[in-house]
Chains A and B, each alone.
Chain A
Amino acid sequence: GQQVMQIPQYQHVQEGEDFTTYCNSSTTLSNIQWYKQRPGGHPVFLIQLVKSGEVKKQKRLTFQFGEAKKNSSLHITATQTTDVGTYFCAAPSSTGNQFYFGTGTSLTVIP
């Protein structure tokens, strides 16, 4: 099936440092979604990007969708311990019936 590559797999940062995770697809995407999963929890929807070059912000989180709609990034400014968790991107199949999830980036914030 379609693959969405996500890097890095793990990231350890000092509290206050920035963090970025990247998703890449070999095919053009109609949209891309981002989810956060806290340790021991379940994925929770963060945002959906639809337009080429789109940038959306949620407080310290900035989401970008590439101009070619083949890549996306999530950037967190000045990380806090509450940011700990695994961040997943998810892209729909060509039919839109299902989503393919990236492997996730596990973020650890060292206080």
Chain B
Amino acid sequence: DGGITQSPKYLFRKEGQNVTLSCEQNLNHDAMYWYRQDPGQGLRLIYYSQIVNDFQKGDIAEGYSVSREKKESFPLTVTSAQKNPTAFYLCASSIDAGRGSYEQYFGPGTRLTVT
């Protein structure tokens, strides 16, 4: 059963703590993406990766970090430097990046609440 998995579905953290969100895909896709979704603001790109061991900042990368050590995995760390981390985080993948011609497959998302 192919797809993208994100865990956990809900995550609660205290302010000042770093937290890592998991994203795994078994679609053999090269490109992976992290988006943040806030009410009324659509999806905003945090980081993306076109290939293993390489990643690029999106529009709102400050306070976040990523790694891409394996093709299947693209974890996102929300650091304590992120001023407003409470949001719905979506991971996505596509066959390829660089031509913008491929649909993105999204995981179920992680809803992070920081208090």
Contacts and interface: CB of A to CB of B under 8 A. Distances in A.
A30 B50 CA distance: 19
B107 interface: yes
Contacts of B40: 9, 103
Interface stretch (A12-20, A37-45, A52-60, A69-77): A37-45
A48 B103 contact: yes
Contact of B42 (A50, A96, A103): A103
A31 B102 CA distance: 10
Interface size bucket, B side? 20 to 34
B108 interface: yes
B9 to A, nearest CB: 10
Interface of B is mostly: loop
Contact of A101 (B42, B105, B107): B42
A79 to B, nearest CB: 22
Contacts of B104: 33, 35, 43, 45, 90, 99
B59 interface: yes
B106 interface: yes
A97 interface: yes
B90 A43 contact: yes
A98 B42 contact: no
Interface residues of A, number: 28
A98 B41 contact: no
A88 interface: yes
Interface of B: 33, 35, 40-45, 48, 50, 56, 58-59, 90, 92, 97-101, 103-109
Interface of A: 1, 6, 9, 30-31, 33, 35, 41-45, 48, 50, 88, 90, 92-93, 95-104
30 contacts: A1-B59, A6-B42, A30-B100, A33-B103, A41-B108, A42-B90, A42-B106, A42-B107, A43-B43, A43-B92, A45-B103, A45-B104, A45-B105, A90-B104, A92-B99, A92-B101, A95-B100, A96-B97, A96-B101, A97-B100, A98-B33, A98-B45, A98-B56, A98-B97, A99-B45, A99-B100, A99-B104, A102-B42, A103-B40, A104-B42
